[in-house]
Amino acid sequence: MLMTPKVIQAFVEARMATDHSGHDVAHIQRVAQLCDVLLTNYPEADAAITMSAAWTHDILDDKLVADIAPVRRQLMTTYAEAGLTADQIAAITAITAHLSFSANLKQHYQLSLEGQIVQDADRLDALGAIGIGRAFYYGAHTGAPMYDPDIAPRTTMTKADYRQKSPVINHFYEKLFKLGDLMNTPEAKKIADERITFMQTFVSQFKSEWHLDNNF
């Protein structure tokens, strides 16, 4: 991968090796690859900041780490070992702290260009065929049912609501279908729209099989 210091990759690979909640190294690699693609449209962006933030964006997620402080210290040491400047490290930290959908629920945080690229790439990986796979994988991890026609998708959600088990199909309405309009860059929006169209086809086929519509 372009511009990603090896020490950062090694640190992330070691920390995420055992994850089974959809935050595996393969997710990080796909996000980094998508960032590479998006970066070609933004030569003014700092690629080292973008790629380092892409690689480390899920490392301090409180869903994944019980005690964040020691991991944060190791991460800061790793950034310095990678040769990043104090300004670059501050820029990366500002991105990883404010990237997530839930971090922006209460108030919208204005990300740098590099942060907008990483956020778009992270959100794109929640869409399309891979997004569908990840959603069901996550649902199995939390013990949520695939679908329940008696539970309507929620329309207003707080951060705590996103932690609650709801049927996987509801997550499509509660978050994933909304991501198209939340993309920062037009290049990501185009990819998001294609992926969401595919997911809508999937959900419609899923429901027609569930209810045995049109089968007899």
Question: Is residue 128 within the footprint of ligand ADP (CB under 6 A)?
Answer: no
* Of positions 122, 180, 183, 191, contacts ligand ADP by CB under 6 A: 122
Paired tokens of 190? 């185009």
Nearest to 142 by CA among 166, 120, 125, 169: 166
Question: Is residue 131 within the footprint of ligand ADP (CB under 6 A)?
Answer: yes
What's the closest the beta carbon of residue 101 comes to Ni ion, in angstroms?
Answer: 10
Question: Is residue 139 within the footprint of ligand ADP (CB under 6 A)?
Answer: yes
Question: Is residue 15 within the footprint of ligand ADP (CB under 6 A)?
Answer: no
Only one residue has tokens 């409180």, namely 62
Paired tokens of 8? 């950062």
CB 20 within 8 A of CB 65: no
Q: 42: left (phi > 0), else alpha (psi -120 to 50), else beta?
A: beta
Nearer to Ni ion, 122 or 174 (CB): 122
The residue type of 141 is H
Nearer to Ni ion, 58 or 174 (CB): 58
- Judged by the rule CB under 6 A, the positions of this chain that interact with ligand ADP are 22, 58, 61, 100, 122, 126, 131, 134-135, 138-139, 144, 166, 168, 171, 176
